[in-house]
Amino acid sequence: MATKKTDDVFSISSFDPSKFNESFRDFAEKSSVKSKEALSKVKEATEEAGKTVEATLQNAQAGTVELGMKAIEMLRTNTENSFSHLESLLSIKSVSEFFELQTAFFRKQAELAVEQAKSLQETSKKVAEHVSKPGKEATEKAMSSFKLSA
């Protein structure tokens, strides 16, 4: 009898092709669903990445314009101060007055240079934060969805 049980387990007559077809069909359907879900997630991630890049480029362009305008403003101020100083120099009557004007001008320009450097630094920091914001938000979103699915 023991051999008969062994024969039954290994015999081809116990193989039912209809059950194999059902199992294979279930496997194929589940694989198809999983593939569609994965493709959908990849498509969504690609669209989000595209939006992030577009927003980053737009912010970078706006930041470049803002920094350019700040530089023009600084140049305009320095040029106006220089012309004003030249006009003052044309009216001097003594060497001591010349040195007083020059000293005052250099002091004013040094103070202005410090102010302008601080202003440019603040603007640059603001622009950098604005440019990096879309990427930061996208990273935070991805990390939160990763945490939720884990």
Determine, yes or no, domain membership for 139.
yes
Per-residue model confidence as pLDDT tens digits over 93-136 = 999 999 999 999 999 999 999 999 999 999 999 999 999 988 88
Is residue 142 predicted with pLDDT exceeding 80?
no
Q: How many domains does the chain have?
A: 1
Read off the tokens for 2: 């023991």
Determine, yes or no, domain membership for 62.
yes
Determine, yes or no, domain membership for 47.
yes
Per-residue model confidence as pLDDT tens digits over 32-43 = 888 888 888 888
Is the pTM above the cut of 0.75?
no
Determine, yes or no, domain membership for 114.
yes
Q: How many residues does the chain have?
A: 150
d(CA 140, CA 144): 6
Q: Give the model's pLDDT for residue 1.
A: 47
∠ Cα 96 101 102 (to 5°) = 95
d(CA 81, CA 40): 61
Q: Give the model's pLDDT for residue 38.
A: 84
> Exposure pattern of 79-89 as b/e (b: 16+ CB <10 Å)?
eeeeeebeeee
Domain that holds residue 101: 16-149
- Choose the weakest-confidence range: 8-12, 63-67, 134-138, 146-150: 8-12
d(CA 48, CA 126): 24
